[in-house]
């Protein structure tokens, strides 16, 4: 049998076409003197979080949008942080609010996320927005799962009728993606299995996947023997593995990518796959939030 040529599903071209599609909506807001504006709340100095926030800010600046970061020390109290959110909720300058996760252990993330005005919740993490998504009437779709859908659509990777296996049950990726892929709509209608650290014999499930999405945070968790030939794989992992380069580390996904070449039908690379799409969808949601303020449809 001829070897499969594994497609590399790059995120950048998909992000660029989304930015082009957003351009008329942005221009129309600008003519009304509305510049979509995001407030980013960054607590502590986790290097990975700083890196994420930096790439989000650059994308906003490049498109002429506003992104302002509010930095607080890791020692900020939960009540003080709730006060910050209250102020941003009431501040008409900002259409969107993003609280960068993870927050320091002493802070109850759920309480903080619950405090964000659901209409400004461009991350889609507020229980109201997660509930709307679960019930099939999404408002703001969380950025990473939304970006994954856009990649699948762009590269014409089928979803409907297939068996999608998701590894990871986070509120940020696994759970919202489960709803998006299972809901009855043109980009869903898959049969979904969700695996996690409590799954016994993970490989038994991953081997059944037509579409495998891995968001486990464990470098190289998925090896070639755990997938069937021809599988489509989305690797959401972004792990720093120490090496002797100048930076002292390299970024790897949750999938042993080199083993998948010639076996998988397609694979999103790390970096350069899902990452650029998360940022693009944040821009998309912030534009939608600005449109809501302007009395538009704000189609998210």
Closest approach of Cβ 170 to ligand GUN, in Å? 9
Q: Interaction with ligand GUN in 151-210: which residues (CB under 6 A)?
A: 172
Closest approach of Cβ 189 to ligand GUN, in Å? 25
What count of other Cβ atoms lies within 10 Å of the Cβ of residue 55? 13
Q: Which residue is nearest to ligand GUN (CB)?
A: 101
Angle ∠(25,29,31) on CA atoms, nearest 5: 120
Q: Interaction with ligand GUN in 12-31: which residues (CB under 6 A)?
A: none
Q: Interaction with ligand GUN in 54-113: which residues (CB under 6 A)?
A: 98-101
Closest approach of Cβ 278 to ligand GUN, in Å? 6
Whichever of 6 and 216 has its CB closer to ligand GUN, that residue is 216
Whichever of 99 and 167 has its CB closer to ligand GUN, that residue is 99
Largest CA distance in the chain: 63
- 278 touches ligand GUN (CB under 6 A): yes
Closest approach of Cβ 186 to ligand GUN, in Å? 24
For tokens 């509120």, the residue is 171
Length of the chain equals: 300
Closest approach of Cβ 188 to ligand GUN, in Å? 21
Positions annotated as catalytic residues are: 56, 100, 123
- 257 touches ligand GUN (CB under 6 A): no
Using CA atoms, how far apart are residues 68 and 120, in angstroms rounded to an integer? 14
- 281 touches ligand GUN (CB under 6 A): no
CB 72 within 8 A of CB 81: yes
Q: Interaction with ligand GUN in 123-162: which residues (CB under 6 A)?
A: 123, 143-144
* CA 225 vs CA 30, 65, 206, 231: distances in Å: 52, 45, 10, 12
Residues ≥6 apart with Cβ < 8 Å to 235: 214, 222, 253, 254, 255, 257, 267, 268, 269, 270, 273, 274
For 209, the token pair is: 């996947």
Taking CB atoms within 8 Å and a gap of at least 24, the contacts of 44-52 are 44/72, 44/73, 44/74, 44/103, 44/104, 45/74, 46/102, 48/238, 48/240, 49/100, 49/101, 49/102, 52/100
Closest approach of Cβ 27 to ligand GUN, in Å? 27
Q: Nearest-CA neighbor of 53 among 102, 15, 121, 87?
A: 102
Q: Nearest-CA neighbor of 73 among 85, 65, 61, 81?
A: 81
Question: Which residues make up the interface to ligand GUN (CB under 6 A)?
Answer: 98-101, 123, 143-144, 172, 278
């Amino acid at each position: 049998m001829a070897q499969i040529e594994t497609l590399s599903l790059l995120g950048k071209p998909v992000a660029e076409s989304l930015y082009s599609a957003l351009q008329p909506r942005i221009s129309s807001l600008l003519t009304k003197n509305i510049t979509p504006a995001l407030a980013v709340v960054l607590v502590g100095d986790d290097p990975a979080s700083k890196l994420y926030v930096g790439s989000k800010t650059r994308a906003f600046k490049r498109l002429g949008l506003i992104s302002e970061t509010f930095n607080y020390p890791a020692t900020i109290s939960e009540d003080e942080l709730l006060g910050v959110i209250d102020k941003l909720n009431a501040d008409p300058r900002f259409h969107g609010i993003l609280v960068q996760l993870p927050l320091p252990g002493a802070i109850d993330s759920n309480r903080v996320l619950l405090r964000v005005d659901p209409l400004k919740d461009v991350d889609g993490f507020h229980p109201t927005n997660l509930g709307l998504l679960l019930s099939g009437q999404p408002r703001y779709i969380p950025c990473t799962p939304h970006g994954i859908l856009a990649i699948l659509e762009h590269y014409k990777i089928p979803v409907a009728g297939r068996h999608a296996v998701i590894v990871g049950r986070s509120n940020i990726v696994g759970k919202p993606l489960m709803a998006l892929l299972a809901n009855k709509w043109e980009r869903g209608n898959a049969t979904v299995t969700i695996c996690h650290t409590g799954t016994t014999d993970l490989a038994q499930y991953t081997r059944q996947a037509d579409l495998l999405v891995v968001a486990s945070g464990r470098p190289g968790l998925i090896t070639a023997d755990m997938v069937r030939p021809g599988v489509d794989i989305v690797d959401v992992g972004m792990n720093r593995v120490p090496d002797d380069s100048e930076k002292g580390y390299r970024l790897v996904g949750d999938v042993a990518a080199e083993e998948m070449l010639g076996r998988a039908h397609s694979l999103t690379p790390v970096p350069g796959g899902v990452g650029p799409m998360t940022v693009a969808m944040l821009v998309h949601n912030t534009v939608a939030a600005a449109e809501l303020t302007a009395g538009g449809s704000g189609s998210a």
